[in-house]
A = this chain, B = another copy of it.
């Protein structure tokens, strides 16, 4: 490996089932450049590792830097991760089992790579960059295509026995509720993720529900995005408003449950859905969480929306790289 003593920059990689986003950050965690490539998981492990390498090199090039100026890479992967050995243990969306991603990427790049679960990476990023007074314990909840979370205990990511702690998206809130991708029914993810929200809207439209969304996007709502929901609500669409209120209520119940169980100092909500609909959802989430938290458990606990938006993953990866390569 080259001498990285003068290398001040770090790379954060948000590695998902659909896309790989890499960001170059300076020592103050300012993002200098980004590069995105599609994942193409169906091609298998080696081609995907090469694509991660490509996105990193493209980001470095975009920032007018050389890889010698990069100290380390931090990467969040969508699944259970063995951080110590740098392995992806199990990632259903990638169909990966026991992949030594750290080792493979270090071979590819020649600089140190640090690996974590994707929601843990986002949680770490929020913890380090958005919270001024560092709380002892924090819960991060990220609502996008799915719902995931991360726990900080005593200032450190908490992994648990199988290194899968924080899988809050599969907390059952409604035993006979809608079917979830995991096979069970009524998980938070099946009630409040972008997928759940879109499915509800598309199902209702098929049944004849009127909404501004079909004027905006056509009857099949093919290119529906979270931002469209915000636009529809602001144009006065009561149907979409109600769907989002319900998603916020389910999320609030989950937050209430988690405050009862874990009683963190701070709960941070993030991800694409929160990013697009913060104004529509956060007040309802907070109010519902307060209703569902037990008497005496809620006082003084902060519930806030992350400001990182789409950059949560790369920012968290940069923090992971920084923390580990100091």
State the CA gap A116–B258 with chains docked (Å): 21
Q: From residue 242 to 298 of chain A, which have CB atoms closer than 8 A to chain B?
A: 250, 253, 256-258, 260-265, 291-292, 294-298
28 interchain pairs, CB-CB under 8 A: A80-B296, A80-B297, A90-B296, A151-B262, A153-B153, A160-B262, A160-B263, A162-B297, A162-B299, A164-B294, A166-B261, A167-B263, A168-B260, A170-B260, A170-B294, A171-B260, A171-B261, A172-B253, A172-B257, A172-B292, A173-B173, A173-B174, A173-B175, A174-B174, A174-B176, A175-B253, A258-B261, A261-B261
Closest chain B residue to A298, Cβ basis: B162
A300 touches B262 (CB 8 A): no
**Quick one: which of A157-186 are within 8 Å of B by CB?**
158-168, 170-177, 182, 184
Contact B89 A296 (CB under 8 A): yes
**Does A217 have its Cβ within 8 Å of any Cβ on chain B?**
no
**A168 vs B89: C-alpha distance when bound (angstroms):** 29
Question: Knowing A160-B137, A172-B292 touch, does A261 contact B167 (C-beta < 8 A)?
Answer: yes
CA A292 – CA B158 in complex, angstroms? 21
B295–A92 contact, CB under 8 A? yes
A301 close to chain B: CB less than 8 A: yes
Contact B296 A161 (CB under 8 A): no
Docked CA distance A289–B16 (Å)? 28
The interface on chain A, measured as residues whose beta carbon lies within 8 A of the other chain's beta carbons, has a size of 53
By the criterion CB–CB under 8 Å, are A265 and B172 in contact?
no
The prevalent SS among residues of A at the interface is loop
How distant is the Cα of A263 from the Cα of B120 in the complex, in angstroms?
14
In the bound complex, residues from chain B placing their C-beta under 8 Å from that of A256 are: 172
- Contacts A153-B153, A300-B161 known; A295 to B260 CB distance under 8 Å? no
Q: Is the CB of A300 within 8 A of B162?
A: yes
Report the bound CA distance from A294 to B164 in whole Å. Answer: 9
Measured CA separation A152–B233 after assembly (Å): 45
Minimum CB–CB distance for A285 against chain B, Å:
15
Q: Considering the chains assembled together, what is the distance between the CA atoms of A101 and B175 in angstroms?
A: 41
A164 near B264 with CB under 8 A, answer no
**Which residue in chain B gives the minimum CB-CB distance to A292?**
B184
Q: Cβ of B175 and Cβ of A174 under 8 Å apart?
A: yes
